[in-house]
């Protein structure tokens, strides 16, 4: 069923708003771990369909589904062997069509993960490419001769450790892989590759998807001269893109990614999306030194990506008021035309409850902060339950990244364990059989079923905060002006078409006096927080937020 076939469908819950993505709340589903419907211990598309009412009730605008394409699953779907089919472990194309239809009936849009920078080594394209140097797809991947001493063409490193080059004894050349050696990089300098990837994009647009999350969007294009990356001074290294144990952080990645030629492909990609009104794209920017600058470049104007996210809030650095204020200041100064998509957690990083060692009051406060920033937001499955990072023993580990750098880096499995739906059994209602990763017992105690009817639960807080966000257009789509930021409080103002909302957050363990900006303001009592009004002013208890509406706000 094409997107055009869904227009005007009876009972369709979607509103006709081509700008829906601006300020949207997007819920990320990691399909292997969301809901198993057939008893094989692995989540699937039918399981997602079954749980769509839960997502609609949460109040998000869209879901982002991590890859479900055919794959040998060496990187759990991020190694694609067929871009136009569903892997049997997840279901069928008919299941996907049913998912789209049901989501749209419930007013939820569907974004899917597109992995365009690389394919699986088992993809037919790569099998043909490696067969000879003169076949039809010989230039579809990045091949290079060895140096005279047999070593790789340059010093580029893989995100997963070691050289980014793998020797192929069949073709007698090296091929580039920025991730696993079984994930060869596609050659975006070849127009045929771009054309094929755009045709794949159209295939899913015709099936009715509302947009795409573009995996590693700044990795698409490499330097054709294959120049060495320069070293990065030690004081400039951080672990935003790769864990600190990985020497990947030792280089300034000028030539293996984020090349200027990428903008030409992104313009072609946006032109295709513009043929399908109301669709959108959010790019993942993996760039430790220049992430915000890349966001600005990739989202400037109306002919590139709609929005991007980098690792500003996905890194280990604790989000003190000063740190958040610095990010907001830099964003306002650098990303002058574009739009951000903020996130605290996803399938690639330690859950933020653990990463930042936050208790429930802080988790609530920072969730409200996330939903008050200028930009769209991504919420990772289980975040709304207050889930922490799960411990996964080495013998249960699945992630090749964790196996490579264990024990200093335990990989990504701790953020990918099955979603706890109920407290009725040891698998938390995820599956009747042994799950692909063990269910964390502490997660079962926070199961969705046990929180659903609890007015004081974390789940209900997320519902309330998402509803509050939707009720205020300046918070959804407005500009942001930072007023103050330190270790005790953070204050800013959101403005849109004459309407103004003041947002204040007490980040400390003590009561803070909040001074409202000059003018007439009405404190909004619909926010799920407490405050104290005295003759002297307004006091904000620890880890609480306050929202005020300018009295001259247009009706």
Q: What is the pLDDT of residues 433-477, one digit of tens each?
A: 999 999 999 999 999 999 999 999 999 999 999 999 999 999 999
242 compared with 429, residue with greater pLDDT: 429
- d(Cα 342, Cα 26) in Å, to the nearest integer? 10
pLDDT above 90 coverage of the chain, percent: 89
- Lowest-confidence range among 105-109, 151-155, 236-240, 475-479? 236-240
pTM of the model: 0.95
Beta carbons of 494 and 509 less than 8 angstroms apart: no
| Tokens found for residue 312 | 């500003």
Confidence of residue 315 (pLDDT cuts 50, 70, 90): very high
Q: What is the pLDDT of residue 424?
A: 84
Confidence of residue 10 (pLDDT cuts 50, 70, 90): very low
Residue with structure tokens 């957050």? 505
Contact by Cβ (8 Å): 344, 462:
no
Q: Which residue has the tokens 């926070």?
A: 446
The neighbouring-strand residues paired with 492 are 482, 503
| Cα–Cα distance for residue pair 138/125, rounded to 1 Å | 9
> Quick one: pLDDT band at residue 12, thresholds 50, 70, 90?
very low
Pairwise CA distance, residues 204 & 86, whole Å: 11
> Mean pLDDT for the chain?
94
Mean pLDDT to the nearest integer, 384-411: 94
The token pair at 273 is 């999306």
Closest Cα partner for 180 from 120, 254, 255, 220?
120
Q: For residue 554, what pLDDT band results from cuts at 50, 70 and 90? A: low
Catalytic residue among 5, 199, 261, 275: 275
215 in active site: yes
Over 60: is that where the pLDDT of 518 sits?
A: yes
Structure confidence by residue, pLDDT tens digits, 223-260? 999 999 999 998 888 877 778 888 999 999 999 999 99
- 375 torsion bin: left (phi>0), alpha (psi -120 to 50), beta (else): left
d(CA 93, CA 104): 17
Provide the pLDDT confidence category of residue 1 given band limits of 50, 70 and 90: very low
Domain ranges (residues) in the chain: 3-120+188-469, 475-550
- Cα(551)–Cα(516) distance, integer angstroms: 12
Instruction: Given the residues 185, 210, 215, 389, select the one marked as catalytic.
Output: 215
CA 470 to each of CA 20, 376, 416, 475, 531: distance values in angstroms, whole numbers, following the listed order: 11, 12, 29, 8, 22
Q: Which fold has domain 3-120+188-469?
A: TIM Barrel (3.20.20)
Q: What's the whole-number mean pLDDT along residues 375-383?
A: 98
- Measured CA to CA, the distance from residue 311 to residue 327 in angstroms comes to 11
Q: What is the pLDDT of residue 5?
A: 39
Two tokens at 437?
């990763």
CA distance between the termini of the chain:
41
What is the CATH number assigned to the segment(s) 475-550? Answer: 2.60.40.1180
Looking at residue 224, its pLDDT comes to 98
Residue 7 scores a pLDDT above 80: no
pLDDT of residue 238: 82
Q: Smallest Cα–Cα separation from 138: which of 97, 184, 85?
A: 184
């Amino acid at each position: 069923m094409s997107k055009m076939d869904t227009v005007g469908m009876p009972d369709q819950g979607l509103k006709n708003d081509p700008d829906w993505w601006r300020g949207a709340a997007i819920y990320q589903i990691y399909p292997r771990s969301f809901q198993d419907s057939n008893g094989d211990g692995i989540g699937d598309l039918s399981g997602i369909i079954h749980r769509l009412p839960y997502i609609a009730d949460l109040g998000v605008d869209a879901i982002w589904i991590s890859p479900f394409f055919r794959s040998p699953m060496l990187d759990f779907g991020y190694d694609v062997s067929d871009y136009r089919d569903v892997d049997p472990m997840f279901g069928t194309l008919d299941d996907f069509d049913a998912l789209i239809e049901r989501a749209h009936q419930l007013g939820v849009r569907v974004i899917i993960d597109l992995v365009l920078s690389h394919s699986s080594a088992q993809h037919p394209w790569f099998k043909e490419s490696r067969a000879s140097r003169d076949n039809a797809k010989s230039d579809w991947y990045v091949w290079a001769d060895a140096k005279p001493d047999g070593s790789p063409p340059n010093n580029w490193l893989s995100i997963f450790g070691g050289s980014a080059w793998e020797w192929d004894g069949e073709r007698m050349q090296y091929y580039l892989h920025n991730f696993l050696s079984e994930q060869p990089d596609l050659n975006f300098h070849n127009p045929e590759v771009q054309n094929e990837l755009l045709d794949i994009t159209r295939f899913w647009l015709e099936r009715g998807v509302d947009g795409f999350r573009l995996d590693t969007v700044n990795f698409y294009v490499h330097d054709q001269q294959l120049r060495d990356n320069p070293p990065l001074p030690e004081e400039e290294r951080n672990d935003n893109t790769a864990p600190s144990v990985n020497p990947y952080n030792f280089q300034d990645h000028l030539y293996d990614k984020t090349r200027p030629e990428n903008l030409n492909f992104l313009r072609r990609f946006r032109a295709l999306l513009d043929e399908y009104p109301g669709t959108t794209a959010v790019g993942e920017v993996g760039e430790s030194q220049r992430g915000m600058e890349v966001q600005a470049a990739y989202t400037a104007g109306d002919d590139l990506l709609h929005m991007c996210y980098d690792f500003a809030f996905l890194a280990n650095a604790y989000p003190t008021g000063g740190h958040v204020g610095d990010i907001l200041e830099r964003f306002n100064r650098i990303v002058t035309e574009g739009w951000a998509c903020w996130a605290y957690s996803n399938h690639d990083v330690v859950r933020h409850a653990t990463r930042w060692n936050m208790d429930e009051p802080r988790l609530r406060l920072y969730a409200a902060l996330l939903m008050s920033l200028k930009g769209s937001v991504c919420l990772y499955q289980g975040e709304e339950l207050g889930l922490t990072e799960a411990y996964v023993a080495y013998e249960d580990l699945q992630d090749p990244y964790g196996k490579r750098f264990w024990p200093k880096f335990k990989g990504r499995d701790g953020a990918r364990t099955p979603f706890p739906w109920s407290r009725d059994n040891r698998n938390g209602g995820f599956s009747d059989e042994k799950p692909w990763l063990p269910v964390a017992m502490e997660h079962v105690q926070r199961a969705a079923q046990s929180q659903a009817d609890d007015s004081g639960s974390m789940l209900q807080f997320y519902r309330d905060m998402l509803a509050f966000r939707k009720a205020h257009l300046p918070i959804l789509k407005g500009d942001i002006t930072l007023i103050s930021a330190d270790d005790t409080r953070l204050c800013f103002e959101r403005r849109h078409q004459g309407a103004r909302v003041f947002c204040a957050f007490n980040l400390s363990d003590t009561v803070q006096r909040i001074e409202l900006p000059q003018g007439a303001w009405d404190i909004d009592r619909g926010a799920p927080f407490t405050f104290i009004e005295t003759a002297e002013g307004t006091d904000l208890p620890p880890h609480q937020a306050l929202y005020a509406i300018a009295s001259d706000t247009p009706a």
